[in-house]
Every structure is written in structure tokens, then in C-alpha cells.
A and B are shown apart, each in its own frame.
Chain A
């Protein structure tokens, strides 16, 4: 996820018909091909980096044993539950502080102070509180996801065109209707920026938490493999993280396209 991706496109991008869906995979595929060649020719020693074919083989073995699916599922579950908890709380605070001056005065300063503590610095404390239980990982993911969603929801609501809000009032909208028809749709593009930043932070937090304190999950699988010098499994875990991250990003983009069809940046031209 990059900042450029999260901004609405103003200029019309150069497009090749039909090849649009495939073109983005050319670079990753080329990297894998070059990597394979480098390993086979001995340019890169397999002690440093195993060949993609070896990584695929390791993946196949783990898939057969059921270990891979179980670990992916555990990590996916942690990521989604943590995201849902942190995201909903962040969204709720963003709404409350965007809509109510009192709520903003009461909580914003505190939240800004907490925001400036790197949430991964809390790991020692979190382990003391929760042990290496599920709740420790969920807590860290939720905390990491909270801030991008909170800040962008707040920003989205604060920057809804005041002329549209005045228009809504003139045409007799109740507070609920004004929120549903004007404020929330107006804040939605900004909320999506928050979601996409949050997805990045979600994976980052989970990797760190699972490598430091866990007894299952992808990060744990990678750490176990390191103990036994299984470098192919280590590389496999990293690649799976990359794929899951891409999957989450694509899902949020799809959602964006469906809900922001009115936005000029998302209209088919």
C-alpha cells in the first residue's frame, strides 16, 4: 500500500485494453524468474536464499501436513478480529469527535498523546498483562489499527462541505438523515484512506507480535523454521505475508469501487 494508491486519480492513467488485470503481475513474475535462475546457476547460494522452486516445495509439504492452512487461518483470524475491534472503536471515536465538540474536547488530547507512543513499544507490557495469549495479539493489532481509522474518520467528517450541510438543513433533514445522506457519504473517501493505512499496520503488528510471542500463526511458523535452519519455510512465510497483504488491499479497493461509484476518480471512462 502506498500513499499514491490511496489518493483519487486525477489524471487518466495510461491503459492497455484487456491486459489491465495481468499487467500488474509482470514485475512480480519477472522477479521470481530471475531469482530462480540466480539460484540454479549458483549466483546466490541456497544457504542465503533458497530457490523459488524449493520454497514452493516446502509450501506443498506444509500444505499436505495441514500445518500451513492452520497457521494461515490463525493469523488471518487474529488480523481480522483485531482489525474489527480496533477499527470499530476508532470509527466510533472518529464519529463522536467529528460530530460533537464536547466529545472532541474531552478525548482528542488524550488520544493524540497515546498516538505518539509507538504501539509496538507496548509489547513487553502486553506480555506481562496477557501472557502470549490470543488477547495479547488482538490487543496490539486493535491498537495499531485504531489510529489511522480514527484520524481519517475524524478528518473526513470535519471536511464535509459546510455548504452541503447547510443545504441539508434548509431542506429539513433531521440530524439522523443529515448524517446518513450528507455527512457519512462525504466522509467515506477519507475513511477508506484510513482503512487502507490500517490494513498495512495490521499486518506489520501481527508479524512482530507473532515472532516475539506466539505459539501458532505464520510468524510463529517462521520463528520455528529459523530454529531448525529451514530457510525455505522462513521465505515462504514472508511471501505469504506479502500475498495476504495484497489480498486485504484488493478487498478494500473493491469495496471502495462499489461504494464510491459517484466519485469522478472511480468512474469508468
Chain B
């Protein structure tokens, strides 16, 4: 089922878009290949007797920002782990259009998962994968740290950082290999409300700068509609709704359009509750 919500584009938004365009082109030039498209066919996964995913069919075009929402236990995190290659597929297939290197697909978790015994910069270098030993490892890691605004923390231990800063280091680690698909498993779930909003802006900015395909699993519908081009609602192991968000970027938080879209998705989620 496809629901599309068209919103009028204001003049201000158009102006902003043209202002961003030259910068976006520049990034595209020095990186010939950007996001990878993603095709999933009849994907199934069970844990013991519990069938978590019951046939997922999905195509995500290159560079799209997709949010996956659903109640806990609906299989959204399992789907993400399968996409990221962390668990084995029972049946079906996931393909990325072309052969993807391991460095092309990165995951960011709810927990920062930083090595407490490595300085911030070395933690970011971990993200380089096989390129860790290369000569430009340091500058690349520093560049990624600058990207998330933590260049001055490069020599700190992770234990002295705040929760939001740790998660930004984790983001820099995921970005440093210039991934073509970035999967987020509720990366902002453990942050306070204000830190969440600034992290959402950061995520949107790096996504626009780097052009990777973004897949965000979240339980926060407001976050999903604020960030994503498209919101998938998963119920009982299947994609129940596929909603395209046409609101232009940058999006204004708390705008009427986003709020009404959020409301309609929430109604879908809650009506499923009433049926059972």
C-alpha cells in the first residue's frame, strides 16, 4: 500500500535548495560512486519457532533516506541487522546493485560501542577497516571528526565525553570509510531531547553532504518524518505501509505538514493495536 502526501513547496525552501546545490555537486565530483541502491526480495528470518520477518520485498533507490518504524518486536531491528550482514538470511535475497566492499556498508548502534582504551582519534580510525594501516589514516580520521564537530576532542578518552559526544564519535567512525550504505539502529534512542534534535540535524547534514543511502530504524515517528524521504511501517514481519514524505528540506521541526503525517502514521500503528 502506497500513501503519498504531497506538500506545497514554499519559495523560501526553493531558495535554500538552490543555495545548497553547488556544494552538493562538488561532493559528487570528487566521489564518483555515491549511495548504493538496495533490493530485497522475499526476505525471511526466524529465531527458533518465532518467525520475525515473513517475506519483505523492498527497493531503495541509491541515496534515499529511509526510516523504518514499528512497534518493538516487529522485526525492524532484525531487518537492519540482515541488511548490514550481521545475521544470516534464512530465505530470500538482499542485493546492492553492484559488488559492495565491506567498508561500503556501515552500522551505527544505539550504544556508541567505542573502545574505552583508545583515544577518540584511534576510535575513529577503527572505522577505516582494512585501510587502518594506510598512511592517510590519521588525516582521514581527523577529517571525519571535524565533520561531526569534535576535532578538539581527538586526544581524549571516551570516558570523559558526554553521551551525545560519544554518539558523534561513533558517527565519525561510521563515516570515515565513506560508506555507501549507512544503517542506523536507533542511534539516538538513548539521548536526551535536545541532544537528539541536534544529532538529527547532524545526521541530515552528513547524509546530504556525502550522499550515502541511509536506513534508519527508530521508534520515534516524529524523528522518522523529520529525516526520511520515505517511512516504512513494519507490522508482524511485513511492510504494512510505505509512506513517501514530500516535505522539502531543510524541514521545519513541528510544522503542520510533518505533524499531520506523523499523526497519520501513528494512527496506523495504534489501529493495529486495536485490531488485536
Contact = CB atoms under 8 A, between A and B. Distances in A.
B117 A185 contact: yes
A108 interface: no
B118 interface: yes
B159 A181 contact: no
Interface in B66-96: 84, 86
A182 B115 contact: yes
B157 A170 contact: no
Given A171-B126, A172-B130, A181-B118, A267 B113 contact: no
A171 B109 contact: no
A172 B117 contact: no
B127 interface: yes
Contact of A263 (B103, B111, B116, B127): B116
Interface in A166-225: 166-168, 170-173, 181-182, 185-186, 188
A262 B127 CA distance: 20
B97 interface: no
13 contacts: A164-B113, A166-B86, A167-B109, A170-B107, A171-B129, A181-B115, A181-B118, A185-B117, A186-B117, A262-B118, A262-B157, A264-B159, A267-B160
B130 A170 contact: no
B167 to A, nearest CB: 14
A101 interface: no
A175 to B, nearest CB: 14
B250 interface: no
A3 B113 CA distance: 30
B159 A167 contact: no
Interface of B: 84, 86, 102-103, 106-107, 109, 111, 113, 115-118, 126-127, 129-130, 157-160, 173
A167 B158 CA distance: 16
B5 to A, nearest CB: 35
Given A167-B113, A170-B107, A182-B115, 4 more contacts: A172-B130, A173-B126, A260-B117, A261-B157
B157 A267 contact: yes
Nearest to B111: A163
B127 to A, nearest CB: 6
Contacts of A264: 159
A10 to B, nearest CB: 13
A262 B86 contact: no
B72 to A, nearest CB: 19
Given A262-B117, A267-B157, A267-B159, A172 B103 contact: yes
Contacts of A185: 115, 117-118
Nearest to B160: A267
Nearest to B177: A171
B115 A171 contact: no
A168 B113 CA distance: 9
Nearest to B157: A262
Interface string A237-269: 000000000000000000000001111100100
